[in-house]
Amino acid sequence: MINEKMEKAFNDQINAELYSEYLYLSMKAYFETLNLKGFVNWMDVQVQEEHAHAMGMFDYVNSRGGKVTLKAIDAPKTEWNSPLEVFEDVLKHEELVTSLINKVADVAEEVKDRAALNFLNWYIKEQVEEEDNVGNVLATLKLIGNDSHGLFAYDKELATRTFVAPVIG
């Protein structure tokens, strides 16, 4: 049976992961308005990943005899001035998610829930990968600057990204 404090921490994180999905869906909509289909694809993969992250925790709480309690999801930002600004926001958001997952791990350590710690290790490693991935996109966008030809070429590259369902845990 999952500890009550641990259950609350997971429920808060499930909500945060669902907000991430919602935020990336908003970013996807923004890129649709710019007709940048590769960027749309990149965000679509993010949407799917965040959904999988939320559902991994959802399933974990249920498997431990806990109760998932869903909350309202805040409205995400919907307007940006450039693809660069979007990815600056993505990096800030992923850094926030990293800190939130670390807090869930802190609760697991506090209540001595080794199963939860083991489960959360996957998420901790995933966040390192997420921040690196976003950092690479951001670095490329900074190099491209205002070069529309470079942006068009990079859009084609981002169109090749595919979603691979994660094996969580």
**Where on the phi/psi map is residue 82: left (φ > 0), alpha (ψ -120 to 50), or beta?**
beta
End-to-end CA distance of the chain: 18
Look up the pTM and report it.
0.96
Output the pLDDT for position 50.
98
Report d(CA 105, CA 135) in Å as an integer.
Answer: 24
Q: How large a percentage of the chain has pLDDT more than 70?
A: 100
Q: Provide the pLDDT for residue 90.
A: 98
Mean pLDDT of 131-154: 97
List the Cα angle 81/85/87 in 5-degree steps. 140
Write down the pLDDT at residue 157: 97
* Token pair for 39: 């960027």
Residue 41 pLDDT > 90, yes or no?
Answer: yes
Please give the average per-residue pLDDT across 23-35, as a whole number. 98
pLDDT surpassing 90 at residue 141: yes
Mean pLDDT of the chain: 97
Q: Where are the alpha helices (DSSP H) in 64-113?
A: 83-110
Spell out the residues 6+ positions from residue 121 whose beta carbon is closer than 8 angstroms to its own.
none
In the chain the domains, ranked by start, together with CATH numbers, are 4-72+81-158 (1.20.1260.10)
5-27 pLDDT per residue, tens: 999 999 999 999 999 999 999 99
CA 47/CA 25 separation, integer angstroms: 6
Instruction: Check pLDDT > 90 for residue 169.
Output: no
Rounded percentage of the chain residues whose pLDDT exceeds 90: 99
**Burial (CB count within 10 angstroms: exposed 0-12, middle 13-18, buried 19+), residue 114:** exposed
- Judge whether residue 32 has pLDDT over 90: yes
